[in-house]
Amino acid sequence: MAGTGGRRLDGKVAIITGAASGIGRAGALLFAREGARITVADIDAHGGEAIAGEIRDAGGDAIFVRTDVRVAAEARAMVDATVHAFERLDILYNNAGIVRLGGVEEISEDDWDLVMDVNLKSVFLCSKYAIPHMKRAGGGSIINAGSTVSFVGSPRSAPYCASKGGLLILTKQMAIDCAPFNIRVNAICPGVTDTPFAAQVLAASPDPAEARRRSEQARPIGRFAKPEEVARAALFLASDDSILAMGSALVIDGGYTAQ
């Protein structure tokens, strides 16, 4: 696949969850341009097949595996399919995520469990089955999708904040266990990014246009991130450029948490 840079992932195999749209889609396309063979994992079969096809059409190597990352058997099957197709696994980008709005008083138990399962339990499950293959490969990189709410609260976002806060400390714990095996585990923590995911949250506001204006103004940079900008930061963590980054949180938020 023709690239614009130094092909920093040549010879690597990467799984990206939630890769059918948004940040995951941008990451899959960028990692492929940088030489990685990609497993596109998502519950959206149409979108996932389209991204895998786009990578192949551009000369890259990709497969799509429909995966519900909340389910142990499906997480394991995703990893097994990757190793069967590409004979190794070097990078796991735990990008899949979901949001349900509500404070502790108003959120339902079902919505709480859904958010925690997709955002946090999935990281446990996918990593559980990926790590043994990375050990056999002599090392690897696990990138967990945190958020600015890994550090600061946000109104009416109780399960989302809890899941992303938990993900950050899980990242640090995993890094300690994995470092002796040359497996780097880090978190990427973007702010609001211009994706269908963000549009869904804004659409729940009484005035979505005003909600977007206020959210953009709350950032020193004055705008939302672009998926491609977050993908470039993830590429750093996936590549050997981040060889000593272990248990770190790379914040990509336009200065929001610096205030």
Catalytic residues: 160
Helix (H) or strand (E) holding 94: strand 91-94
First to last CA, the chain: 41
CA–CA dist 3, 6 (Å, integer): 8
CA–CA dist 158, 13 (Å, integer): 35
User: What type of residue is 162?
Assistant: A
Structure tokens at 121: 């339990």
Give the Cβ contact number of residue 122 at 10 Å: 29
Q: For residue 188, list its beta bridge partners.
A: 145, 250
